Structure 1
Amino acid sequence: MCPGEQPGARGHLAERPHPGVGVQPLIRTASLRGFAPLVSELGGDPEQLLHRYGISTEALAGDDGLISITAHDQMLDAAAAELGCPDLGLRLADRQDISILGPVARAVRPSATATEALECAARFLFVHSPALTIGVDDDPWNRRGVIALTYRKQLSESPYSPQAIELGLGLFHRMAVQLLGRSPGLRSVELTHGPLSPVDRYLDFFGADVKFDRPVAALCVERRILDASFATADEEVRLAALDHLAGTYSDPAHSMAGRVRRAVGERLPGRVPPLAEVAASLAIHPRTLQRHLVVEHTTYGQVVDDLRRDRSHRFITTTDLSFTQIADLVGFSEQSTLSHAVRRWFGVSPGELRRRSRVSR
């Protein structure tokens, strides 16, 4: 499964094994496995593309580096457009397999059933990228005996990318086939955008009907597939891998800073709520909330500042919204306040930050 983010450190390798709170959503460099040779085969310059989006070529030397998911996704969309390759996401998915999930794959492979594998992947997908989630929903068409395996990106943290969605959903499908050793009983595919390629290309890749402009990206499969047994099942190996994941990685969304960031983000645009109001929404005493944040080496003010910084950077560099509109979206009462904050965060004015991002594109 392929496919969060923010400025400053965009494209740099992170020192920690997983993204922390207060920085842009990230994704493991394994998601770009096969990207450079594919671009070269299409007549493009992968190094030039990587440089343009602030991703070092050294980052792709291994699978465990962390890069901005926004830079990752925007690069895929740009490469597809510039190389005249509308099915770039699907082509990249064809070059990948479950091993791109690294430590998560080591717990998924020895699962006994598809249900067990999905539960593990859903629980620990944040190790690959905290901006992505998978789940099991009811079939959107109310077909008997059918469920939807959903694939979502957190759009409040990183913009939508058609190519990244096709890469992610395409890889989701390939993983299912790889684990089951056969077709996952696919009844239809749901894509959240219109066709990028001729419809026959999608039919050839998925082998099933594809429905476009749908609310949620998903693979709609026969419910019985959840009980399918894996030939690779090994309970001892699975438990050891789960212990490693649980002991090594912590989901940033479950930290107090992550919960606060989400609570504040849900109230924007509009005024930033005081700490006491957020504490009440989390059913916790304000002092207890502050103590938790101290343990996580941050403060309420820092969480809010990080959230504003990250969203401001995204709106300035990826949209044509006016700076007055952006100020309102991040909870500033005046454009001048946004301008002062942007200079503090990035050392340049909002206009210069936008100009530089467009020149680099």
Structure 2
Amino acid sequence: MAWVRSAALRGVRRTVEELGGDADALARSAGAPRGVLDDDELLVQDTTVAVLLETAARRLDCPDLGLRVALEQDLSMLGPLAVAVQNSATVAEALECASRYLFVHDRNLRVALGTDPHGDRTAVAVRYGYPPGARVPPQSVEMGLLFLHRVLISLLDGPYGLRTVELPHHAVAARARYEELFGSQVNFAQPQALLRVASDLPGRPVQGGDQLTRRVALAYLEAQPSVTGNAMTRRVRTLLKQSLGTGPGTLAFAARTLGMSPRSLQRHLSAAGTTFAAVLDDVRRERAADLLIQSDLPLAQVARNIGLSEAAVLSRYARRWWGTTARAVRDHGVPGE
């Protein structure tokens, strides 16, 4: 789990309402904070974004929802990073900039150039995705990859030599819909999400780039907290996993155990883009899912094992985490996974 800017949900309200849905109700059911669909600068969990998209697609019977949302988005939603990318000299420089500074927008997301997975020396791959082992539902992947495709078109003011699109899941919408939007062949159930492009793409110049503007944007991005701050997050997660259900599970307890003041601990976590409450909530959610799916423990005991007082409280948390009941997770698994 990582915190991302709510700009990732730009276009969701318009798309949902055009389909006749209640965007605010869907956001609440996914556990998103109030106002998340109308403000680019709130922080929201990437898992919440994924649940919201999958839930909306299912309830509105719209299998191409992620693709539709991507059509409502543009590079400006990345804020200062967009300025640096748009003012790069070449596509390779733009992608390197995005890869280096995407943590400002989404700390787990990666975009990188690589060799062609099919061994074609006239092609290279623009890979889009999350760290190995991360399970990202189809709507999120499709939204992100179509957004990336549209960014490349905008940087070059036209077609950029797309050969094929590869998605790591089976088609959830009609194949013709994907190929209409990407303008290319789309292959499914592939090892990674990527765009296969002509090998000369990295060296092509970006239209209208200005190096002075780029340097100003990069100076701002350099001042943002580095991803290395995640080391403290990992320490807190480990501590909470070990003490969940047995220790007090409080900021004071964690700080004392780690040998620092609560204020100092919060400051370290803030530098990593999170809070103690968010880390605790994430650990509880993961443990609850494991216990609900892999054990037959009564719901009251599951609640106690994750540091909650009773089954009723667990039910409220389940609604916020997954948009469904704890019993439904036990019977059917986590929605979207």
TM-score, normalising length: structure 1: 0.72
Secondary structure of the corresponding residue to residue 293 of structure 2:
coil
Q: Which amino acid aligns with 2:4?
A: I
Q: Distance in 2 between matches of 1:60 and 1:309?
A: 22
Q: Distance in 1 between matches of 2:198 and 2:85?
A: 20
Distance 1:170 1:181, change over 3 A: same
Task: State whether structure 2 residue 35 is matched by structure 1 residue 58.
Answer: yes
Q: Percent identity?
A: 32
Q: Distance in 2 between matches of 1:319 and 1:104?
A: 40
Match of 1:209 in 2: 185
Distance 1:175 1:61, change over 3 A: same
Q: Distance in 2 between matches of 1:61 and 1:91?
A: 17
Q: Which amino acid aligns with 2:185?
A: D
CA offset at residue 88 of structure 1?
0.6
Q: Distance in 1 between matches of 2:40 and 2:317?
A: 31
| Cα deviation code 1:123-156 (max 9, x no counterpart) | 1111111121111121111111211111112476
Match of 2:76 in 1: 99
Q: Which amino acid aligns with 1:50?
A: A
Q: Distance in 2 between matches of 1:324 and 1:137?
A: 45
Between the two proteins, the alignment pairs up a number of residues equal to 300
Q: Distance in 1 between matches of 2:316 and 2:286?
A: 11
CA offset at residue 91 of structure 1?
0.7
Asked if structure 1 preserves the Cα contact closer than 8 Å seen for 2:304 and 2:310, the reply is no
Q: Which amino acid aligns with 2:123?
A: V
Asked if structure 1 preserves the Cα contact closer than 8 Å seen for 2:153 and 2:160, the reply is yes
Q: Distance in 2 between matches of 1:234 and 1:185?
A: 24
Q: Distance in 2 between matches of 1:95 and 1:242?
A: 26
**1:341-360 matched pairs, under 5 angstroms:** 342-343=306-307, 346-348=308-310, 352=315, 356=319, 358-359=324-325
Match of 1:152 in 2: 129
| Cα deviation code 1:163-201 (max 9, x no counterpart) | 000000010000000111111211111101000111111
Q: Which amino acid aligns with 2:231?
A: M
Secondary structure of the corresponding residue to residue 229 of structure 1:
coil
Secondary structure of the corresponding residue to residue 129 of structure 2:
strand
Distance 1:112 1:50, change over 3 A: same
Q: Distance in 1 between matches of 2:318 and 2:206?
A: 52
Q: Distance in 2 between matches of 1:222 and 1:315?
A: 45
Aligned counterpart in structure 2 of residue 252 of structure 1, from 215, 227, 233: 227
Q: Which runs of 5+ in 1 are unaligned?
A: 5-24, 271-288, 326-335
| Cα deviation code 1:201-252 (max 9, x no counterpart) | 11111111111111110011112110111122111110110001111x1233
Secondary structure of the corresponding residue to residue 140 of structure 1:
coil
Q: Distance in 2 between matches of 1:134 and 1:259?
A: 23
Aligned counterpart in structure 1 of residue 58 of structure 2, from 68, 81, 102: 81
Match of 1:21 in 2: none
**1:1-361 matched pairs, under 5 angstroms:** 4=1, 25-154=2-131, 159-247=135-223, 249-253=224-228, 255-258=230-233, 310-314=282-286, 316-317=288-289, 321-323=293-295, 340=304, 342-343=306-307, 346-348=308-310, 352=315, 356=319, 358-359=324-325
Q: Distance in 2 between matches of 1:184 and 1:319?
A: 48
Secondary structure of the corresponding residue to residue 61 of structure 1:
coil
Secondary structure of the corresponding residue to residue 358 of structure 1:
coil
Match of 2:250 in 1: none
